[in-house]
Amino acid sequence: MIVDVSKKPDVYRYARASASASVQICNTAAAVRAAVVASRYLPFLHPLPLTASAWCRDGRLYVEGFTEWQTGVEMDVLFGALVGLIGSGAVKIEDLAVEIKLKNLAQALSEAALTETALVREGGLTASAYGVMKMKNYNVVKGPVEKGHPIYAAQTAAALNAKRLCELIGGPCPSIQYLKIDIDVRESVEVSVSIKARDFTPAPEALFATGVALLTIWDMAKKYEKDDSGQYPNTHIKLLRLE
């Protein structure tokens, strides 16, 4: 289920997320586009009138978002950073994290000249990806929370979204014939995804599905991950990579 936020007041909400990857040009346009429509892909996000911006500096993509609404925007900008780097051709993404989130404070977004890049598909018709996320409370992931069971929801979200990356970054959509996802929770949350397609390499989709699974878990457990000031000092996706 989606948590009822209808009784919350509309207040100013701002967040900035970032991640590192070795890419020649950042697809900041895809990052902004994804942040604005993140609720269509992460199953428990509420739709909101988000304004977003993105830029790259020193091998890191930054995405920020602002709204006056009932819910926060940190998951939206995390999703934007994920999609922006996959759309930039990244095969390894590191330290996907929320840098800061603010509440009750009007915030002007940074001006950025957005760049659109075409996704280059390289590889065979089978692809595998791996991701690992560090958290404060791993026990929350292992059982049901208010929104449902994090692992089951993440598996479903990954399978559904593997077919939808092309909606965000354009280009051909692979005809996926097979998808397998495993999630293991010990001293970290580890996700492995394998995909087989009929026509185009599904390598970007494997990376995307892995990231979506981890972000779904983060979103469902975020109530237990925040510190007293509402930040996430102990929570970040340490690594996403193609195998």
Which residues are known to be catalytic?
A: 219
SS3 95: strand
Q: What residues contact 187, with CB distance under 8 A and at least 6 apart?
A: 138
SS3 144: coil
Q: What is the C-alpha to C-alpha distance for residues 21 and 198, in angstroms, rounded to an integer?
A: 28
| DSSP state string for 145-210 | BTTB-HHHHHHHHHHHHTTTHHHHH-SPPP-EEEEEEEEEESSSEEEEEEEEESSS--HHHHHHHH
Q: What is the C-alpha to C-alpha distance for residues 14 and 52, in angstroms, rounded to an integer?
A: 10
CA 84, 140, 13, 156 torsion-angle sign: positive
Pick from 192, 218, 203: which is nearest to 169 by CA? 203
Name the residue type at position 89: G
